[in-house]
Amino acid sequence: MKLRLLALCALMAVPVFAGRVITYTATSNVSQEEANNAAIAGVAKQISVQIEANQVMHKSETEVNGKSNFKQSYKAQNKVSSDLKIKGIEVSSVKTADGFKATANLDLDIFTADLQLKIKTLQQEVTALEEDAKKALNARNYANAIKSLEKAQPKVLLHQKALDQLSQVYPVNDSHRLHQNLAGVETMVVDRLSKIKIEGPAEQFELTKPEMPAWEVSVSDEFGPLPNFPLVARQGRQTLSERRTQDKGTATFNLRNVNFSSGPYTINVEANLPQAILRDAGIQNSIEISYTVSQTKCNVQLQCKSEANVCNAIENGLSKVSVFNSSNADVPKISAETSAQTKNTLGSLTSYNMEITLKGNNILFSRSVKGAGKNDVDALVKAINKIDFSGIKKQIGSSCK
């Protein structure tokens, strides 16, 4: 049985104003390489344990057939893991009468340089963002103040993570800590926002087409009309327009494609800011702009020789824009023509290039569409259901009342 005895010892010392160094010495009666590796491994093991400053440790290791037994004269208080790359380690090798000796020294200032630089950079970035938020707040640019605070928050978490990691292997002092008051700045922003008033037009609009006349929204805070304030107009889940107030604290909305054939016939305007901030400020409720719809109705004679399902889809599409099929001989006659050409087939579905055309006296409405279905009729019906027929209404003219 081959018996090898490695005598290992490590000394850690932290001078008050000097760099912190971990030292580990190992001997081997086999080779210098083994002694070097043992010394480096010993240093590596030390940085996985939280060690009190000026603590001296002594270890002995007996290795028999690759199995090690350690004896330790100290008690480790906190086991930690580190993804820090070991750099700044120096190994000095000595040939002794009994074998080989190596001492590994790790300068923790060099070892933690990248991490300390990261901490310093995060400190500077958070401080700069906090200053940006304060300047924006003083300028009444609340959107920019919130944006700076949002950018700073994840950096605070990154700094704390880096600081926790550094504290496991290096004496942390006040210079490593993050001095910030983001919460205080956010409180001031919320307080300012809580005093904001958003006002819209008082009258109710009556629409004859899916377009609204221009109207204004005014925004003010405790200091007066508020410029550069972000607003958003929504109808249901659809965003119709985003605006910022101008110098006099007003924003003009020119909305197109509002709900016309069916409701709701309301527009909601609110501050275009994070909902959590608005909720804290108590201004998450939007103002509501309502309107009524006065639709003109048109009567036509629809002549369609396609399959019944296709003709029904066309008639239903026209009725959505208040164009109705009539038996009155005095109303305009419109003929419907459709065609579908096979493009390709995949499984049970076939894709088509399709044409839908409505013709009459001074009337021409045509759409080229692509779609897929089980057959050409199925594809045509699906395509027709998606067509907006409102463009034909202006061409019909006199039969609309």
Among 239, 269, 293, give the residue marking a domain's end.
293
Instruction: Look up residue 52 and give its two tokens.
Output: 């009190």
**pLDDT value at position 222?**
93
Confidence grade of residue 21 (pLDDT, cut at 50, 70, 90): confident
Q: Is pLDDT of 141 > 90?
A: yes
CATH code where residue 212 lies: 2.60.40.10
Give 263's DSSP letter. Answer: S
The pLDDT mean for the chain works out to: 82
CATH code where residue 312 lies: 3.30.160.150
Confidence grade of residue 79 (pLDDT, cut at 50, 70, 90): very low
Residue 168 has φ and ψ, to the nearest 5°, of -75, -20
Both ends of the chain: CA-CA distance in Å? 110
Same domain, 181 and 203: no
Same domain, 287 and 303: no
Among 176, 193, 210, give the residue marking a domain's end.
193
Cβ atoms of residues 229 and 244 within 8 Å: yes
Same domain, 329 and 272: no
DSSP 232-248: EEEETTEEEEEEE--TT
Same domain, 12 and 93: yes
Domain that holds residue 47: 3-111
Dump pLDDT digits (tens) for 251-268: 999 998 898 877 789 999
Same domain, 218 and 166: no
Among 249, 274, 293, give the residue marking a domain's end.
293
Mean pLDDT of the 308-334 span = 89
Q: For the chain, what is the domain count?
A: 4
Using the Cα atoms of residue 197, residue 203, residue 208 and residue 214 in order, give the sign of their dihedral.
negative
Same domain, 53 and 74: yes
Same domain, 378 and 304: yes
Cβ atoms of residues 271 and 262 within 8 Å: no
Confidence grade of residue 398 (pLDDT, cut at 50, 70, 90): low
Q: Cβ contacts of residue 313 below 8 Å, gap of 6+?
A: 380, 381, 384, 385
Distance CA 150, CA 5 (A): 58
Q: Is pLDDT of 61 > 60?
A: no
